[in-house]
Amino acid sequence: MASKLLHRITCTHHLTKLRPITTPSASRGFKSRAHPTVRPSTPIQQAVQTILDGVDERHLSRAERWEKNKENRVEQRVAYFAERGAADGSAPAAEELREDAKNNPYRGMDETVELALQLNIDPRKPGQALRGSMALPHGNGKTFNVAVFTDDMTIAQQALDRGAVAAGGASLIESIQTGNTSITSFQRTLASPEMMPQLSAVARLLGPRGLMPNPKLNTIVEQDNLLEALDKQMSGMSNYRTDRTGIIRMGVGKGSFGMDKLLDNIREMMNEIQSVKPESYGKGRKGQKGKVAKGTKYYLKAHLSSTQSRGSVLVDLKTVDPTSSFFMSDPQ
């Protein structure tokens, strides 16, 4: 009897070794559409801080690598210009290159911080394709070359004095047609309403590049407001537009801006997107065309990233929704 009991205990011990008891949560080591892994969201303040920490970490890492290999890189640059430098002597001399590397610190890249919003809209439906422009409180960190189309030569000269790369009326249009004024020399355009019929002659050149003045982008303004609009465009007006999936991507500043300026820009952007919310969005209920069903969400997802960040940070929607009591705050 004792030998049979000992045999059962031994067999049970072997089975326990072969088939260990696992908990239900540990037994499912796979992902599926029915059981997706929930990605945690982050309040907007923590998301911005995470992005800025990554920007600083990459900058320090590249600065260390530069200091470690500075001598080799400078000598490679000297050899390059010695072999392929301009024959007229316009290439920098070897001593000038060494002196520049010695006196000036490492010049890192100022990464752009971008906010991507997935909205519950279908741009193919009428009234749901959002497009516009806005001036962020601290700018977006970019400057643009602007061309001004106006038939008032006094305003055209004032625009050139303020920094416009090109300004004029019929003469400027003819210059673009002949190729004397390259359309790659400017990234934004402004025009008075009187100039729009004449711009049809260069619409095929400006349109594909997104340079055609548009009232939705506030680039068609009256003569008296052209100079004021020029200053705004040159300082970095931010344009936004939904893609075919209903996502808006817009740069909200540079990594060098810091936490407070980036949060101010994000607050202004979210208020703008909220102000242009269409009357109808989402799928709606059957038989109620053009009406929004109760509980339909306008914001679906929000992601924050930078130019060279690895992936993006999923932002808690409560902290970027202007209608939420936790708007631009930490819900904890």
Average pLDDT over the chain reads 85
Whole-Å CA distances, 122 to 262, 272, 290, 298 = 29, 19, 13, 11
Instruction: Please name the amino acid found at residue 183.
Output: I
Strands 247-254 vs 112-119: parallel, antiparallel or unpaired? antiparallel
Mind spelling out the 3-state secondary structure of 53-64?
HHHHHHHHHHHH
Cβ-contact 314, 41 below 8 angstroms: yes
The mean pLDDT of 126-143, rounded to a whole number, is 89
Q: What's residue 89's pLDDT? A: 67
Instruction: Evaluate if residue 257 carries a pLDDT over 90.
Output: yes
DSSP element (H, E) containing 101: helix 94-103
Within a 10 A sphere around the Cβ of 8, how many other Cβ atoms?
Answer: 9
Whole-Å CA distances, 14 to 2, 5, 89 = 19, 15, 84
Cβ-contact 149, 213 below 8 angstroms: yes
The mean pLDDT of 220-232, rounded to a whole number, is 91
Structure tokens at 200: 């049809």
The mean pLDDT of 26-48, rounded to a whole number, is 74
96/131 Cα distance (integer angstroms): 49
Instruction: Evaluate if residue 289 carries a pLDDT over 70.
Output: no
More confident residue, 37 or 277: 277
H helix and E strand count, the chain: 11, 9
Q: What's residue 1's pLDDT? A: 52
Instruction: Evaluate if residue 117 carries a pLDDT over 70.
Output: yes
The mean pLDDT of 257-266, rounded to a whole number, is 95
Buried b (16+ CB within 10 A) or exposed e, 75-97: eebbeebeeeeeeeeeebebeeb
What pTM did the predictor assign? 0.76
Instruction: Evaluate if residue 8 carries a pLDDT over 80.
Output: no
Note the Cα 125 to chain centre separation in Å: 25
33 three-class SS: coil
| pLDDT tens digit sequence for 303-330 | 999 999 999 999 999 999 999 999 998 8
> What whole-number percentage of the chain has pLDDT above 90?
55
Structure tokens at 307: 């130019």
Radius of gyration of the chain (CA): 29
Q: What's residue 218's pLDDT? A: 87
130/135 Cα distance (integer angstroms): 16
324/31 Cα distance (integer angstroms): 32
Structure tokens at 87: 């024959």
The mean pLDDT of 286-306, rounded to a whole number, is 80
Q: What's residue 307's pLDDT? A: 94
The mean pLDDT of 123-142, rounded to a whole number, is 89
Q: What's residue 35's pLDDT? A: 65
| pLDDT tens digit sequence for 135-157 | 899 989 888 899 999 999 999 99
Quickly state the pLDDT bin for 252 (edges 50, 70, 90): very high
